[in-house]
């Protein structure tokens, strides 16, 4: 696991990754510093929401010379801790933007053009 301190919002990113001939997987979860301190001090961590997200990059399975990849992106986001809360339009826009930005960052990291 890696820790990355994003000082603007006092969050750590816990990350695990693996890659082999079958493909690549990156799983990560944000955790705020007060929650990390609870865990590090030995207190009960059961009330801390740990919502892993991530992506996989797998071969597309084509046997031709122009093979490609399939990218799957998954997010778990806690919109509200209230059981009766409903997803609102603002949350949908935020999640849609987050997915779009993440896909664009993956494409940029892999040096893919915008037509892929």
Cα 9 to chain centroid, rounded: 17
Q: Which helix (H) or strand (E) holds 36?
A: helix 33-40
Q: What is the pLDDT along the chain (116 residues), one digit of tens a residue?
A: 444 444 445 888 889 999 998 889 999 988 888 888 888 899 988 888 788 899 998 888 877 767 788 888 888 877 777 777 777 888 889 888 988 998 898 888 888 765 54
Q: Residues 74, 57: contact at Cβ < 8 Å?
A: no
The whole-angstrom separation of Cα 21 and Cα 23 is: 6
Strands (E) located in 3-100: 5-6, 11-20, 23-32, 53-59, 69-74
pTM of the model: 0.64
């Amino acid at each position: 696991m890696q820790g990355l301190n994003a000082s603007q919002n006092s969050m750590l990113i816990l990350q695990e990754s693996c890659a082999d001939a079958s493909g690549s997987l990156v799983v990560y979860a944000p955790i705020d510093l007060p929650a990390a301190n609870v865990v590090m001090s030995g207190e009960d961590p059961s009330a801390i929401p740990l919502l892993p997200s991530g992506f996989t990059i797998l071969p597309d399975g084509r046997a031709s010379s122009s093979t490609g990849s399939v990218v799957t992106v998954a997010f778990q986001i806690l919109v509200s801790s209230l059981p009766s809360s409903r997803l609102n339009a603002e949350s949908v826009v935020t999640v849609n933007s987050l997915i779009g930005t993440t896909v664009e960052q993956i494409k940029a990291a892999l040096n893919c053009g915008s037509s892929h």
